[in-house]
């Protein structure tokens, strides 16, 4: 089969059209993932430092430096894999009552950006564990209970017992 100039041009156009949606959908700068925006996903995945801390009733949203424990590489990878997987979130409208109290929170930092995620201490068996976050705006969602509890048991023992 011989391809002429028009056939080759159509082949290139067809390939470009087929590839364009894949490239567009892969950009996390523009698209979010689960309850997070693209900027939040970038910060979770590429933070210079990730800290965990206990949350007490009526405590300030940003803890003092003494309350923070820096997560190691294994905990950070497991955390990013858990939070950034769309299948780990339940899609509900409304949910249960406000989440009080929170037990642990995470602080993601990169340059001047920071994201704080606070997790409910009591999960709803139907919809999961409530997550409240602040980045450039308020965010939140419901992470599946078993996955979150598994991560906490493995990496957040000290903060859960404070």
pLDDT tens digits along 40-92: 889 999 999 999 998 876 666 677 888 899 999 999 999 999 999 989 988 76
pLDDT tens digits along 103-148: 899 999 999 899 999 898 888 888 888 888 877 777 788 899 999 9
Select the CATH number that applies to the domain covering 32-160 from these four: 3.30.1490, 3.30.360, 3.40.50, 1.10.3470.
3.30.1490
SS3 assignment for the chain: CCCCHHHHHHHHHHHHHHHHHHHHHHCCCCCCECCECHHHHHHHHHCCEEEEEECCCCCCCCCCHHHCEECCHHHHHHHHHHHCCHHHEECCCCCCCCCCCEEEEEEEEECCEEEEEEEECCCECCCEEEEEEECCCEEEEEECHHHHHHHHHHHCHHHHCC
Residue ranges of domains in the chain: 32-160
Q: What is the pTM of this model?
A: 0.73
């Amino acid at each position: 089969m011989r391809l002429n100039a028009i056939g080759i041009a159509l082949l290139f156009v067809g390939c470009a059209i087929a590839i364009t949606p894949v490239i567009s959908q892969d950009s996390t700068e523009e698209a979010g993932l689960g309850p997070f925006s693209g900027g939040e996903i970038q910060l979770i995945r590429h933070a210079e430092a990730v800290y965990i801390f206990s949350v007490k009733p009526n405590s300030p949203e940003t803890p003092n430096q003494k309350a923070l424990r820096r997560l190691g590489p294994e905990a950070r990878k497991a955390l990013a894999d858990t939070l950034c997987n769309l299948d780990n979130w339940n899609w509900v409208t409304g949910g249960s009552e406000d989440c009080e109290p929170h037990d642990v929170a995470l602080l993601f930092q990169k340059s001047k950006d920071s994201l704080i995620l606070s997790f409910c201490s009591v999960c709803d068996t139907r919809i999961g564990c409530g997550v409240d976050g602040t980045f450039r705006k308020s965010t939140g969602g419901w992470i599946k209970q078993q996955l979150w509890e598994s991560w906490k048991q493995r990496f957040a023992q000290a903060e859960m017992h404070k």
